[in-house]
Amino acid sequence: MNQAYLLLDGALIDNLPGRLLALTGSTPYQSLYQHTAYRALLAVSPVLVPVIPGSPLALHFAQEWNETSGIWLESEAKESVLMQHLRSLVHVRVEGDVSVFFRYYDPRITHLWLAGLEPRERDRLMGPIRLISLPESLYPGGIIRQESPEQPIAQYRDKPWLFLSPEQVAHLNGAKRQRLTEQLIEHCQQYVPQRLQGLDLAAQQQWALDCQCSAERHGYSAVDQVTCWANLRAVLGDEFPNAADHAVYRRILDKKGVLPAQRLDNLSAELQRQLLTEKELIA
């Protein structure tokens, strides 16, 4: 019988241990970075937690996390066996024999990585995972299912066993970037339409790509984070946050001891404060 689990992104969900405690009471979870070369990063490690369909945790996941911050998966294997395989995938080798983190538990990456593979290769990579459930907004049909069970279980190694070709890396990055470009344009057209007024499609796409690059330079890559950053650029201009009159925003970005997500909230709050101040002055 399959047991359901959530594989959650500790780097994107603030205070994940506390939130799991509030939602489950005492359900234990396991950190993928434990017993790896990345154990010093446990605070932002992806975690595996059992989940019961229909539970408060399952409902919260569906409402808040399933499009950006984790995946739902099911397995018949013992949890320790499943962990071995999942832990083995936390990093991969790319061209030049370089090791990089692999955020395969990001649902926007999961389907790009697995869905287009030949069934035999996909089944091998899934190992003890019988199915992965994704939002239909990301993957039509929503389910990636293993066709041939009883696959070998991979073991974590300090040198990754999995290699991604340059073509695979380009596919993962390119498809994700294109989808985000479309989402940023849609967001701007709805909430800040004046920014794209008069621009043809190519110019709109270039603006959205520039927003992504600017956000990434400041450490933001998740959809909600880049969208927030694009909104700031749409209102404050394409020189954000480097314009001469953006010193207050640079101070917020440079403040020590503040989580990245909180910095974005502080930036948005400062923008709202300035807009309200300007409105009062006009009135």
How do residues 91-113 score in pLDDT, each as one tens digit?
999 999 899 999 999 998 999 99
Q: Angle 73-74-77 (CA atoms, 0-180°, nearest 5)?
A: 130
Is residue 43 packed enough to be buried (19+ CB in 10 Å), middle (13-18) or exposed (0-12)? exposed
CA of residue 151 relative to chain centroid, distance? 27
Q: Output the pLDDT for position 12.
A: 85
Which contacts (CB < 8 Å, 24+ apart) does range 119-123 have?
119/147, 119/148, 120/148, 122/146, 122/147, 123/147, 123/148, 123/149, 123/151
Task: Among 29-33, 59-63, 180-184, name the one with the lowest average pLDDT.
Answer: 180-184
Residue-range domain boundaries for the chain? 3-164, 167-282
Give the pLDDT confidence of 219-256 residue by residue, as tens digits: 888 888 999 999 999 999 999 999 999 999 999 999 88
Task: Among 45-59, 150-164, 250-264, name the one with the lowest average pLDDT.
Answer: 250-264
Angstrom distance (rounded) from CA 28 to CA 50 = 8
**Residue ranges with strand state E in 187-280:** none
Angstrom distance (rounded) from CA 263 to CA 13 = 14
Helices 166-191 and 223-236: angle between axes, nearest 10 degrees: 50
Q: Output the pLDDT for position 281.
A: 58
> What's the first-to-final CA gap in the chain, in angstroms?
66
> What six digits make up the tokens of 201?
């499609």
Torsion sign, CA atoms 125, 130, 131, 132: negative
Q: pTM here?
A: 0.69
**Average pLDDT over the chain, rounded to an integer:** 91
The fraction of the chain above a pLDDT of 70, given in percent, is: 98
pLDDT at 124 > cutoff 70: yes
Q: What integer is the mean pLDDT of 11-33? A: 91
Q: Angle 210-46-135 (CA atoms, 0-180°, nearest 5)?
A: 65
Per-residue pLDDT band for 168 (boundaries 50, 70, 90) equals very high
pLDDT at 164 > cutoff 90: yes
Residue predicted with more confidence, 28 or 58: 58
